Chain A
Amino acid sequence: MQTIKRVLLAGGGTAGHVNPALAIGSAFASSETRLLFVGVRGKVEEEVVPREGIPIRFVRASGFPAGLSADLAVFLLNLFIGTIQSLAILLGFRPDIIVGTGGYASAPVVMAASLLRKIRLIKSRIYIHEQNAVPGKLNRLMGRFVHQVLVTFPETLSYFPRNGILAGYPLRRRISRVRREEARQKLDFIIPEGRKVVLVFGGSQGSRTINHALVDALGHLLAHRDQLYIIHGVGLFKSREYNALKDTEARLRRIYSEERLKCIEGFYTYRPYFHNIELVYAVSDLVVARAGAGTLNEISVMGLPALLIPKPNLPGDHQVMNARATEMAGGAEILYEQVAPANGKLSEWIEGKILAERILALLQDDSRLREMSLRSRSFLNTDALGRIERRIRGIGAESEQNARPSIQATDAASLPGNAELLALLERAFEEQPTAYKPENVISQPQDLEYFKNRASALLIHPQWQQRNLGVKLLGLLHARKRIPALAALFCDREPVSLFKRLLGGDFVQVGFIRRNIITAFVRLNECSPEVEKSLLLGLEDPYYEVRAEAARAAACYSARLSSREPFIAGLLKLLASPVIDVAAAAAEALGKLGGEHDALPVLLSMWNSKFWKVRAAVLRGIFYLVDRAEVTHLELLEKQVPRFVLTSTDFTPRFEIKSAYQELMEAVSRSKKAGNAQ
């Protein structure tokens, strides 16, 4: 066993990175070991670390920017300055062990340390702990320079084939079961006796969606105010755009009157951050939280039932995967964020009423809570911290190689990704367009629900290709509840940059997205007022494919439209379109929607239209009119139709040998079936 005198902890940005560092630090804390924390100024660590009695030094660092931009230069500059600062700190402190827990703050330290080791100025051993299933870019890079990468999930090992070690998520030893009564007394607020206590928080930074939803939910919970008590961790997030604490306070005052606020204060308290979260856990009966690895591990150790609201669109969708794993083990329920229109824009949100209902439903079912609590506790049975400590001290490590500690994200690999799912559904749809049902492709209702949520989360993705993917998926998944979201996306007319517009672009919701929304409406087969409004708008769309698709959709919904007149007017305008697809689709749609007086004369006047495809469509349109018995003067029609120009510039060849081949093969398969039946 080596003697470890100085341990340097580096990491930060969010508590998800700081807490594991503190946990690991606590394992080494003793009278002969000195600890030093290196973090970034203005983040969680600045407040949290000194409270733990650990000295902290600051370096410059910023996050790895997505894509090439000016941010990249800022990032590189910060990394450079941070590394220089770290060099000074390292040479001063001369640690035996360096533990980086990710978040951008650990990068400059690890970088400087490996540099100093190269030139043999320090002899520290360097470790990284990775909390997420899918490691960040910086940790992936840093992994090459360090002794070992301690990972939380077995899946992560493949990113660090040389030096990855499965360790699990280290929890501060304090987060173990504190007695409830004891905790109650230590807290700085008073929880009246006999209340069910709900802890709601969205991670150390807070979550805007959860904060909004909880404030909205309070009104619905008001009726149960003598049975429950809500503790709200608002989060430390501060930026120009969103300040978690101020926004929450403002929202409370905006929604509720003075009197109601008074009532609410009786069962509700909020704090930006809990420095003694173990006390809060100890008094809680239910936790409503994000599904990050840290939170889940803490909840599990405390044996708390949870209502998880996973954050969507993360790498590997890992929060959702975590949440699903916990749900399957029986320790939690999931509440998915919805993507829904608000002030004309789509955004993530949770309806306050639904959150309130879900909380109440859980609290009122004691046996369910007890069951969840038990399962939550048995779900995780780990001593990740001990394992990490032994690994770093270099004792008894080998035998633990194969232990599978911590929760495992359900195999993301076993569920298809979005593009894969789309291919799967499209194939099924092409095989049997009429009998198609998503349930036939996806047998598990839970999976279907998950896919619907994952697809609708794509609707607010910054890349149009991903939004487009989401639209297609929602149509094929028959997600009827998402019609308002699709309609809002369709009606979003925010223009693209001037440069793109000069080249033929129009709106941020590009042509393909708008076209596919209309297609999705047809697949969803539900004619709501929102759909009708979108279709009318679609008939006037600047992009021809949308106009054509809207005309086809109008024909599909012909029997169910609330009022046909605006549609007929729109279609008549499209009939004159120079784009043959549009004119043809409009002609056929008029046949399904129109009548003898509005549609027929115009259709007949197109007897010598330039393109045969349009003329053919007009003839089909008139056929529909006759078929629907809309035409009364049939003799007149009989005289007028022969005027039509029937010359065509195209034909469909018929290859006799191919027909003979097909007939033969069909006969063979028929006989085969008959033979099998006998």
Chain B
Amino acid sequence: MIYFIGKYLHPNFEFFSFLRLVDYISARSIGAALTAILLTLFFTPIFIRYLQRNGFVDQARATGIAAASDKAGTPAMGGAVMAGCVLISCLLWCNLANPFLLIVLLGMIWFGFIGLLDDLAKMRARSGDRGLSEPKKLLLQAVFAAALALLLISPFSPLPSSQIGAFYIPFLKSPVFDSVWFYFPIMFFFVLVVGNSVNITDGLDGLAIVPSVFVVGVLGVFGYLLGNAIWARYLNYPFLPGTGELAIFCSAFAGAGIGFLWFNAYPAQVFMGDTGSLAIGGCMAVLSIVLKQEALFLILGGLFAAEAASSQIQDKIGIRWLGRRIFLRAPLHHQMQHKGLAETKVVIRLWIASGILALAALATIKLR
């Protein structure tokens, strides 16, 4: 909104010439981040009270770890206010006609909505295990993935036609293959895995949000560089006109994430719930796809990948098929707790790990 107002005012009125700033992505990014932080700091306490009044509190499942049972009763669904603040901030600061931005916002809202259904189902059943069933969740996510694939091959695709089926891996300049027949199955799988990986990671206070901010922040840098013809050519990336706007979204996300951490830090006053974790997963997946950085996620989101992989290997291969545990506990953070690390220690160690991974991912920009 501010973008459109500024766009209209500064050429026409001398008095508003300072609004030229809206032409700069950097300026709007900072504005978006600050707005999002302030909004979350303001709205989260109000929302927490609302959740408490209505009994929308966490229904912990019995994991057998003592600390987990202490958390039953903490309000969940805090992710809803976070996603809401990102949305408001984007409405204020972004060019709402930008198709990249709209796709990412849609991804966040769709996934957040799936999470909301899940959270509400759990509240109603008063059980941490009886949310939306796994096949239902996956189906709703697959619908989105299919719609995204359709959009990308349609004439309305925001991506240049030469890039649609291209699959890049870090450290290589040219795509490893360029075929929608190979690319779309990978993309489909990617949406489902990344979309749920944050949900799996979200098990300890503050564990999911900080690595998410790192991941989205780095993707914001990618958005800025790839949307700039000079930088893109200099760094040997395909130029994707319009992705610069995503940097503003990512800033708003980082701001809201930090605002959320204010309340979510150990011991947490609020959890993001499935609403938050799926919304984050959804927007991370869509961001990576439209920026053509799917393979980078293995490095950038290495923590999420490891959490998702450990949980799936343990459950699907170990417990259901082989009839044994493969890890002492899964996912990764429970394994660390089981080995005798305090929750706070696990969280901070994994923050450090994800920070290192984010830096490594940034380093790949130049190493090609």
Residues in A with CB closer than 8 Å to B67 are 652-653
B61 to chain A, nearest CB (A): 15
B322 at the interface (CB under 8 A from A): yes
- Other-chain residue from A512, A579, A580 in contact with B323 (beta carbon distance below 8 A): A512
Q: Tell me how many residues of B have a C-beta within 8 Å of chain A.
A: 20
Contact A503 to B342, CB < 8 A, known contacts A653-B67, A653-B267, A655-B70: no
For the complex, give the distance between the alpha carbons of A581 and B339 in Å. Answer: 9
Q: What is the CB-to-nearest-CB distance from A219 to chain B, in angstroms, rounded to a whole number?
A: 41
Q: How long is the Cα–Cα vector from A606 to B209 in the complex, in angstroms?
A: 39
Query: Which residues of B lie under 8 Å from residue A505 when comparing CB positions?
Result: 322-324
Q: Would B322 and A500 count as touching, CB distance under 8 A?
A: yes
Evaluate contact between A653 and B324: CB separation under 8 angstroms: no
User: CB distance A612 to B70 under 8 Å?
Assistant: no
Q: Is the CB of B340 within 8 A of A510?
A: no
> Is B136 at the interface (CB under 8 A from chain A)?
no
Chain B residues 320-368 with CB under 8 Å of chain A are 321-326, 328, 337, 339-342, 345
A500 (CB) vs chain B CBs: closest residue: B322
Within 8 Å of chain B (Cβ to Cβ): is A511?
A: yes
Q: Does B229 contact A (CB under 8 A)?
A: no
B241 interfacial by beta-carbon distance below 8 Å: no
Interface centre among A511, A611, A650, A658 (most CB of B within 10 A): A650
CA distance A465 to B267 in the complex (A): 39
Determine which of A513, A545, A648 lies in contact with B325 in the assembled complex, contact meaning CB atoms within 8 Å.
A545
In B262-307, the 8 Å CB interface with A consists of 267
**Smallest CB gap from A513: residue in B:** B323
Q: Does B84 sit at the interface, judged by CB under 8 A?
A: no
Choose among A468, A579, A649, A658 the residue that contacts B345 (Cβ–Cβ < 8 A). A649
Indicate if A256 sits at the interface (CB-CB under 8 A): no
User: B340: which of A613, A653, A658 is its contact (CB, 8 Å)?
Assistant: A613
In the complex, the chain A residue whose C-beta lies closest to that of B73 is A658
Residue B97 interfacial (CB < 8 Å) = no
CB of A463 to closest CB in B, whole Å: 10
Cβ distance A386 to chain B, nearest Cβ, rounded Å = 49
Q: A464 vs B340: C-alpha distance in the bound complex, in angstroms? A: 32
How far apart are the CA atoms of A581 and B317 in the complex, in Å? 22
A512 CA to B321 CA, complexed, in Å:
11
> Do most interface residues of chain B lie in helix, strand or loop, or is the interface mixed?
loop
Q: Which residues in window 631-671 of A have CB below 8 A to B? A: 648-653, 655, 658
Known: A611-B340, A649-B345, A655-B70. A581 touches B328 (CB 8 A): yes
Assess the B322–A653 pair: CB atoms within 8 A: no
Nearest CB of chain A from residue B340's CB, rounded to whole Å? 5
Cα-based distance from A503 to B337 in the complex (angstroms):
25
Cross-chain contact B339 with A510 (CB below 8 angstroms): no
Tell me which residues from 145 to 179 in chain B have a Cβ below 8 Å from any Cβ of chain A.
none
Quick check: is B318 within 8 A (CB to CB) of the other chain?
yes
Residues A510 and B341 in contact in the complex (CB < 8 Å), given A652-B66, A653-B67: no
- Measured in the bound complex, the distance between the Cα atoms of B66 and A653 in whole Å is 10
Query: 8 Å CB contacts to B: which residues of A503-526?
Result: 503-506, 510-513
Task: Name the residue of chain B whose CB is nearest to the CB of A612.
Answer: B340
Check if B70 sits within 8 Å of A658, measured CB to CB. yes
A543 close to chain B: CB less than 8 A: yes
Once the chains bind, are B323 and A653 in contact (CB under 8 Å)? no
Number of interface residues of A (CB under 8 A): 28
A648 proximity list for chain B (CB < 8 A):
340
> Which of chain A's residues has its CB closest to B317's CB?
A503
- In the assembled complex, which residues on chain B have CB atoms less than 8 Å from the CB atom of A465? 323
A 392-422 to B, binary, CB cutoff 8 A, 1 in contact else 0: 0000000000000000000000000000000
Q: Are A504 and B318 in contact (CB under 8 A)?
A: yes
Q: When the two chains form their complex, are residues A511 and B323 in contact, meaning their CB atoms are under 8 A apart?
A: yes
Interface centre among B67, B321, B323, B339 (most CB of A within 10 A): B323
**Residues of chain B lying within 8 A (CB to CB) of residue A543:** 324
A504→B70 contact, CB < 8 A: no
A464 engages B324 (CB within 8 Å): no
User: Are A611 and B339 within 8 A (Cβ)?
Assistant: yes
Q: Which residues on A sit within 8 Å (CB–CB) of B323? A: 464-465, 468, 505, 510-513
**B267 engages A504 (CB within 8 Å):** no
- Chain A 490-512, CB within 8 Å of chain B: the 1/0 string? 00000000001001111000111
Which residues on A sit within 8 Å (CB–CB) of B328?
579-581
**Closest partner residue, chain A, to B320 (CB atom):** A465
Q: B316 to chain A: closest CB distance in Å?
A: 11
Whether the Cβ atoms of B340 and A511 lie closer than 8 Å is no
Q: List CB contacts (< 8 Å) of B64-123 with chain A.
A: 66-67, 70
A651-B325 contact given A503-B317, A504-B318, A658-B70, CB 8 Å threshold: no
B65–chain A nearest beta-carbon distance, Å? 11
Residues of A within 8 A of B339 (CB): 580, 611, 613
Residue of A nearest to B325 (CB): A545
Expressed in whole angstroms, the minimum distance between the Cβ of A656 and any Cβ of chain B is 12
The answer to whether A649 touches B342 (Cβ under 8 A) is yes
Report whether A510 and B342 are in contact in the complex, using a CB–CB cutoff of 8 Å. Answer: no
Query: How many angstroms between the C-alpha atoms of A579 and B319 in the bound complex?
Result: 18
Question: Contact at A649–B318, with CB atoms within 8 Å?
Answer: no
**Neighbouring B residues of A500 by C-beta, 8 Å:** 321-322
A658 proximity list for chain B (CB < 8 A)? 70
In the complex, how many angstroms separate the beta carbon of B350 from the nearest chain A beta carbon? 14
> Which residues of chain A from 551 to 593 have a CB within 8 Å of any chain B CB?
579-581
- The answer for the CA separation of A652 and B67 in the assembled complex, in Å, is 7
CA–CA, A504 and B326, complex, Å: 7
A661 to B, closest residue via Cβ: B73
State A580–B318 Cα separation when bound (angstroms).
19
Partner of A512, one of B70, B324, B326: B324
Instruction: Write the chain B residue with the least CB distance to A505.
Output: B322
- Supply 25 A–B pairs (Cβ within 8 Å), ascending by A: A464-B323, A465-B323, A503-B322, A504-B318, A505-B322, A505-B323, A505-B324, A506-B324, A511-B322, A512-B319, A543-B324, A545-B324, A581-B328, A612-B340, A613-B340, A648-B340, A649-B340, A650-B341, A651-B342, A653-B67, A653-B70, A653-B267, A655-B70, A655-B267, A658-B70
Interface residues of A (CB under 8 A from B): 464-465, 468, 500, 503-506, 510-513, 543, 545, 579-581, 611-613, 648-653, 655, 658
- Contacts A504-B322, A650-B342 aside, 14 further interface pairs with beta carbons under 8 A come to A504-B326, A506-B324, A510-B324, A511-B325, A512-B319, A581-B328, A611-B340, A612-B340, A613-B339, A648-B340, A649-B341, A649-B342, A651-B342, A655-B267
